[in-house]
Structure 1
Amino acid sequence: MVSRAAGAACLGSQLYRPLPNSLLAPPCEPAREVLLLTARPSRPKEGSSMTLTCEVQAASWKPDAQPQFCFFRDSQALWQGWSSSPELQLPTVWREDSGSYWCEAKTSELRVARSPRIQIQVQGVPVWNVSLETQPPGGQVQKGEKLVLVCLATQGTGDITFSWYKGALGLNLETKTQRSLAAKFEIPAVTDSDTEKYYCAADNGYGPSISELVSVTVRIPASHPVLTVRVPGTRAVVGDVVELRCEAQSGSPPIQYRFYHEDVTLGSSSAPSGGGASFNLSLTPERSGNYSCEANNGLGPQRSEAVPLSVTVPTEDRKELLASGILEGLLGTLGPTIIALLVCCWLKKRIGRRPARDPCRSPPSPMAQVSNYVNSAAPLQEQSVYENVNVVSGEEVYSLVYHTQQERQAAVEPQRTHTTDQDASAIYFRLKKASVADVDYEDAM
């Protein structure tokens, strides 16, 4: 604001009062020496600067005269003392700086001149585009925390009066006046009743400007939930469907619930409007143990106390479970042995059905072995017959050897070959990659 120093600060310059015409003209009003005061801008706005210039209009003063200048507004000097500069810079003017301005000048001979008065009206800028903001942002505040309502104006000059209101009926909360475009109102610790709509208004004398409504929600953390296990009968039995009910007595919605069995998540359910939530579970013998639930509405999870549940297995089911357990144990222990026996039986049956020779394989050349019988009328010749059988697994090949005896007659009789009883033994050779590495013997059935 412009300094309001007393007019007596201009030394030797008493505020001029007109004298009667019968008296001589005072020395501060030379007849032909006139001053002119100008202002730039001529209609300044509040908050802006203004420059006053005192110009000498007559040339009767000596060139070497060094006049001193002083500026006034409404009978008060604007600066302390006389100055050699004909200009006065006012950094900031406000609406109350409006009024009547003039200037005076004097020389070393104490000749004083005064300029005509000019009216300067400082223009104010109305408050415009008022808005309300919340801290924390978004209007979401936890119960017990501080809420700050900030009223902002895009433009406006001078002293601005800010007011805050609660609810649609406009309950006035606070009013303050300050020379700024923003003001704050604080609620140190919010409660449930502070959940409401708020707005503010700003006025600098040109009419109030009102903000839009802003919703403030006081959020309450979820309390420790209570878990309830509801069974169809007096006890929990295998096959029953039980209801797990989890509910927090307080807490702002929405609330997300999770259900646990021995700290293993079973599932989740949501309560968009608050309250509790349920989860259905089909019982098996493994479902015995401790159950719990968790409630979370974004302000921190809360866990319930553990609830034990014992699942009863009926007698019939116990017998079935025991039989199935024994069967599973036997299959697990004897399974490989049974499979091996079945494969062996299948292999032997298949060998018995195959023809004497396999056209798909080339039997090796038989190696004749001669046996001499002492009490035989005709010598008998023993022959070996070889036959390859199917590949059982991998690269293994088995060969079947039959032993036959031939009876030799006299030279006059034609040779007859009697295939007598085949030897009841057969020799299997297991070959690996065309070389006999191992020889296994097995009695033919």
Structure 2
Amino acid sequence: MLPWFLLLICALPCEPAGNPVSDVSLKTKPPGEWVMEGNKLVLICSVANTTENITYLWYRGALGLNLEKKTLPSITAEFEISEVKQSDVDQYYCAADNGHGPVLSELVNINVRVPVSRPVLTFVDTGTQAVLGDLVELHCKALRGSPPIFYQFYHENIILGNSSDHSGGGASFNFSLTAEHSGNFSCEASNGQGVQRSEVVALNLTGLSLVPTVNGIGNLSSGLTGWLIGCLGPIATVLIFCYWLKRKIGRQSDDPLRSPPQTVLQESNYHNSPDPGHPEPVYENVNAVSGDEVYSLVYHTQQELGPTAALLRNLF
């Protein structure tokens, strides 16, 4: 009986004084279950009021991988992850012990959100060459980023449409191609942590003359008009010049001061008339036939055509 009593007396001073800790909890900073990749995460373990030294422990996962251990005379203690990675997604909890045994907190889920990367815009099936009237599919995808991701499609900075992706496979937008769709296309991706825009992709249209659109006809007419002016302009200039030259020469030939009358050489009916090429007077007297009557013989000398008139005869 005595030995048992002595053991009981010795054992009483060995027991820790006070009560076990209570109300152990784990909180995060920033608060909430989501944290952005690359940001700092602080796990705060706290207990109810106490004046004793408390040993704090932080654990990760269902198997309880120990992350940190601190002993402080404080009701709170912190464990910091300086740069969160996607591999840090897991469940976390903490424990507090003041010598009466550890008391555990509840589990806290930590999810890491990855900001979207610069998306890539592609034309499905048609590529960057399409024909008017084709059904074109635009596909936009960010290679990195936590879903859901919101996508917007642009043509020359004008919004064509939008779509959301909850699986990480990207989003598509379909439209029927018209002449107004020629130009630059782009898309944007966002998951609430900033916006990223793709590079510009140009779409070239072919077969404009096959579609009876107002813009197509206008372009075709303006091109045809320019071609006609370029080709027919020199021809019209030459024709106008020739017409002017012809009229000018015609006026000169009608002016008696500039163009002497032409004479036509006719064969004489008289046997005693001189040679038709006689360079002497235009007329001369011949022998009288009877009485006082005197006959005159008239010569018509043919003039040679000048160089200008000869040119006109060859041209026309």
TM-score, normalised with respect to structure 2: 0.60
Structure 1 residue 210, shift from structure 2 partner: 0.7
Structure 2 runs not aligned, ≥5 long: 1-11, 222-316
1:311 and 2:193 correspond: no
Q: 1:207 to 1:231 in 2, by over 3 A?
A: same
Structure 1 residue 230, shift from structure 2 partner: 2.1
- Does the Cα contact within 8 Å between 1:125 and 1:155 map onto a contact in 2? no
Alignment partner, residue 159 of structure 1: 53
1:207 and 2:207 correspond: no
Q: Deviations over 1:279-312 (max 9, x none)?
A: 1111111010100001111111001000000223
Distance in 2 between the 1:316 and 1:255 partners? Answer: 39
User: SS at 1:177's partner residue?
Assistant: strand
Alignment partner, residue 300 of structure 1: 194
Aligned-pair identity in percent equals 56
- Does the Cα contact within 8 Å between 1:257 and 1:294 map onto a contact in 2? yes
1:141 and 2:35 correspond: yes
Alignment partner, residue 7 of structure 2: none
Q: Deviations over 1:58-112 (max 9, x none)?
A: xxxxxxxxxxxxxxxxxxxxxxxxxxxxxxxxxxxxxxxx98xxxxxxxxxxxxx
- Does the Cα contact within 8 Å between 2:57 and 2:67 map onto a contact in 1? yes
Q: Deviations over 1:23-45 (max 9, x none)?
A: xxxxxxxxxxxxxxxxxxxxxxx
Structure 1 residue 165, shift from structure 2 partner: 0.3
Paired residue for 2:81, among 165, 171, 187? 187
User: SS at 1:291's partner residue?
Assistant: strand
Which moves more between the two structures, 227-236 or 175-184? 227-236
Equivalent residue runs for 1:119-138 within 5 Å: 123-138=17-32
Task: Give the aligned residue type for 1:143.
Answer: E
Distance in 2 between the 1:270 and 1:124 partners? Answer: 57
Paired residue for 1:198, among 85, 88, 92? 92
Higher relative contact order (CA 8 A, sep 6+): 2
- Does the Cα contact within 8 Å between 1:164 and 1:172 map onto a contact in 2? yes
Alignment partner, residue 259 of structure 2: none
Distance in 1 between the 2:155 and 2:91 partners? Answer: 43
Q: 1:316 to 1:157 in 2, by over 3 A?
A: same
Structure 1 residue 229, shift from structure 2 partner: 1.1
- Does the Cα contact within 8 Å between 2:129 and 2:203 map onto a contact in 1? no
- Does the Cα contact within 8 Å between 1:167 and 1:196 map onto a contact in 2? yes
Equivalent residue runs for 1:389-408 within 5 Å: none
Q: Which one has a larger percent strand, Structure 1 or Structure 2?
A: 1
The number of residues matched between the two structures is 207
Alignment partner, residue 123 of structure 2: 229
Alignment partner, residue 181 of structure 2: 287
Q: 1:289 to 1:316 in 2, by over 3 A?
A: closer
- Does the Cα contact within 8 Å between 1:139 and 1:215 map onto a contact in 2? yes
Alignment partner, residue 242 of structure 1: 136
Q: 1:288 to 1:196 in 2, by over 3 A?
A: same
- Does the Cα contact within 8 Å between 1:295 and 1:301 map onto a contact in 2? yes
Structure 1 runs not aligned, ≥5 long: 1-97, 100-120, 327-445
Equivalent residue runs for 1:108-119 within 5 Å: none
Equivalent residue runs for 1:355-366 within 5 Å: none
- Does the Cα contact within 8 Å between 1:285 and 1:312 map onto a contact in 2? no
Q: 1:178 to 1:138 in 2, by over 3 A?
A: same
Alignment partner, residue 244 of structure 2: none
Distance in 2 between the 1:125 and 1:133 partners? Answer: 24
- Does the Cα contact within 8 Å between 1:157 and 1:204 map onto a contact in 2? no
- Does the Cα contact within 8 Å between 1:229 and 1:245 map onto a contact in 2? yes
TM-score, normalised with respect to structure 1: 0.43
Distance in 2 between the 1:319 and 1:173 partners? Answer: 70
Alignment partner, residue 7 of structure 1: none
